Amino acid sequence: QVQVLESGGGLVQAGGSLRLSCTTSGLTFGDYAMVWFRQAPGKEREGVLCINQSGGSIVYADSVKGRFTISRDNAKNTLYLQMNLLKPEDTAMYYCAARRSWGCSLFERSYDYWGQGTQVTVSS
pLDDT of residue 83: 98
- Strands across the sheet containing 68-73: 3-7, 18-25, 78-83, 68-73
pLDDT in tens, 25-35: 999 999 999 99
Residues 6+ apart with CB under 8 A from 107: none
Mean pLDDT, the chain, rounded, equals 97
pLDDT of residue 35: 98
pLDDT of residue 25: 97
- The band of 43, judged by pLDDT with boundaries at 50, 70 and 90, is very high
